[in-house]
Structure 1
């Protein structure tokens, strides 16, 4: 439910100070200094705030980056107040970010997310139509905040080609994609604790024989981590190898099938060169 939410750009020191406070509350860690965010938004960055009844309940911050001669917007942090999550505010912030970035001349927005966090995967890939383009192992090192403690900080780097047909056209057909065992890279099972776990051996090793693959992830890695952190690490290490292999073979993550009744969801991987992303082959 997103009625009554206002999204707008934030530019003043007082507004950025409110973001600083909310960021510290959301992430339970030291927030980005106001002098840094202020400098960034005066030089091509974007800070957006989500308000309900004039109360700041969410934010999204990005700054300009350049790689291989290509300018893009690095979407660095987004946070929603605990009492306002799962109401579509994150999606509204990202859509406003896209419109603002397009008006400023950006074509590409990038950010990272934990590939084992299925709600983030659903927003980033299924709703926004970003692609999981790169896999980076332990990018932030050891992080001890509430979400990251206990696991290596592996991340997907999302590429969001905001003026491409991949993003702008309706892709409802992915909702009807049927899982098939012959395209599933590794099988999950429910262990004696009632938790989803991965078998020790892959089903397949030759990614070149098909144009689409499925990879399972748990419906809640945080729940698994709280019950059995060793199992959470096992999910990280096994999926790390699979994700890296798929991407090195020209695949990217394009969506996710949510199957709550099985305690697992499934990533959809497709060939990058089959997508309408208009990237001029300038891959980051």
Structure 2
């Protein structure tokens, strides 16, 4: 267990941007001189008052040598009003899993609520188990929509050659923080169906039940390095199961540390499931 790292989270100033953008590029493994976000665009977002954030060692805010996390966000719109869209957050690999990301999300939350905004949205790769656990269980966001290949080819070391499928997380800032870790045995005993198993097998049933379970690899980033073809099969299996469930109105309402997703009927952003609908390939 990595001990928590105290940090000061602040809104970035223009002079902070080069170090923050370099950190994001380093986290995504981009070649030197390649920007994850272009400097001129980041400056424009700051001028517009958008939430570009930095996390620093305590008492050293705005010191580039003390920067451990950076986040780029902006205010977006949806039919119900406004939300903060958190585009990218990166934590120095030396300090990952030490609570820095949670501290940055708490600051984002306060920033949004101070402006009368009650929701934060962002996208994440459904195959990265640790991110699903953080987003759905630790924070308590809902995975509400599946976006196939939303960013196109990315080609960085984190994403590899996989299509850039993402799940949109929606975090209700007025709700209670976090959820208990899912009890998979209790869910199965209560009638939950497994639609994607640990060995990558896709469920072929034709009747959807209120609760669905899906498993993704514990470390897809390592699998992309060692077996890109297997990683791509997992991408398509997740699209065929988690993606279809979200399209049918299920919402992702929890995840375990080791890659199990919990999907609940009616908790997502699409229309509810129809009678006899299927999640597997047989629906094609």
Following superposition, the deviation at residue 170 of structure 1 comes to 5.9
Distance 1:198 1:31, change over 3 A: closer
Q: Out of 49-58 and 20-29, give the one that drifted further.
A: 20-29
Instruction: Please state which structure has a larger fraction of its residues in strand.
Output: 1
Q: Distance in 2 between matches of 1:77 and 1:217?
A: 22
**Cα deviation digits, residues 44-69 of structure 1 (max 9, x gap):** 41011111253001011211112336
Q: Does structure 1 residue 180 correspond to structure 2 residue 174?
A: no
Q: Does structure 1 residue 57 correspond to structure 2 residue 30?
A: no
1:75 to 86, 90, 115: 86
Residue ranges of structure 1 left out of the alignment (5+ in a row): 190-196, 260-264
Following superposition, the deviation at residue 198 of structure 1 comes to 1.3
Superposed counterparts of 1:78-157, under 5 Å: 78-157=89-168
What's the RMSD between the two structures over aligned residues?
2.3
CA contact (8 A) 2:5 2:98 kept: no
CA contact (8 A) 2:136 2:253 kept: yes
CA contact (8 A) 1:60 1:94 kept: no
Following superposition, the deviation at residue 175 of structure 1 comes to 3.7
Following superposition, the deviation at residue 9 of structure 1 comes to 1.6
TM-score (norm 2): 0.82
SS at match of 1:115: coil
CA contact (8 A) 2:86 2:122 kept: yes
Residue ranges of structure 2 left out of the alignment (5+ in a row): 61-65, 272-284
Q: Distance in 1 between matches of 2:193 and 2:4?
A: 36
1:266 to 260, 263, 267: 260
CA contact (8 A) 2:7 2:57 kept: yes
Following superposition, the deviation at residue 202 of structure 1 comes to 1.3
CA contact (8 A) 1:185 1:203 kept: no
Q: Distance in 1 between matches of 2:164 and 2:37?
A: 19
Matched positions, count:
256
Q: Distance in 2 between matches of 1:24 and 1:169?
A: 30
Q: Distance in 2 between matches of 1:225 and 1:248?
A: 26
Superposed counterparts of 1:5-24, under 5 Å: 5-10=7-12, 12-24=13-25
Distance 1:36 1:267, change over 3 A: same
